Amino acid sequence: MSQDDLIHGLHAVQAAVRYEPAGVVEAWVERRRRDGRMQRLRRQLQGLGCPVHEVERRELDRLTGSDAHQGVAIRYRGPPPRGDDELAQLLDGLARAPFLLVLDQVQDPHNLGACLRTAEGAGVDAVITPRDRAAGLTPAVHKVAAGAAETLPLFQVTNLARALRDLRERGIWLVGAADTAAASLYDTDLTGSLALVLGAEENGLRRLTREACDQLVAIPMAGRVESLNVSVAAGVMLYEAVRQRAAAVQRRVQG
């Protein structure tokens, strides 16, 4: 993310105010919007001590380049990207089996935002992407993620293949998504320490990423399309893992 970026939309702004209040530098609020939700957000923004500008809707349209701002925008200065060292620290501190999502060169910010939102809902501990040729935490990502970008750690690693090898050395099972894989997602054990690995929108997993995986699986497709959008595929795979992990816990409790 650049030093300062504009974030707009109620969910994204509320998340920034709640989880990263020190990053809110300046705010613009639609003057004529006086509903209870906006009034509460006004008070929260004013409580941060940052300038809050009351403007007409057309000024917000001009500022954000969109009419979908929902009456509020902020200038946001986020923390620097987390990298390899911070990822190691998070994994060292986990008291349970890690549950991770790895995205190989996903460049569309809307797809990254959707993946973050789904991963946060599924209880993922972290999302890992390469530092280069991949979307970062842009305003578009924040807006689509609807708060998940502030609560779910995103790590941008220098060398993804090396990071995957490090995960394997920690005993984390790497399951990659590949349309041509012989194994079905639904026949694969997704319990225990797990990282699900998905590729870019056009080309899927790169060769070194595929080779780093312990297993490749396919999502069964009953129709004529050959593959799913990466954010949809992430949702399917993550929630199959959630289902299996919940069932495993239930079996342990009953046993």
Phi–psi pair at 52, nearest 5 degrees = -120, 115
Q: Is 74 annotated as a binding residue?
A: no
**117-36-73 Cα angle (round to 5):** 50
Q: What is the DSSP annotation of 104-132? A: SS---HHHHHHHHHHHHHHT-SEEEEESS
> Is the Cα dihedral 59, 64, 67, 71 positive or negative?
negative
- Rounded to whole angstroms, the Cα distance separating 174 from 143 reads 29
Q: Is 199 annotated as a binding residue?
A: yes
DSSP state letter for 81: P
Q: Tokens 């969910």 label which residue?
A: 11
User: Which residue numbers belong to the known binding site?
Assistant: 199, 219, 228
User: Which residue numbers belong to the known binding site for S-adenosyl-L-methionine?
Assistant: 199, 219, 228
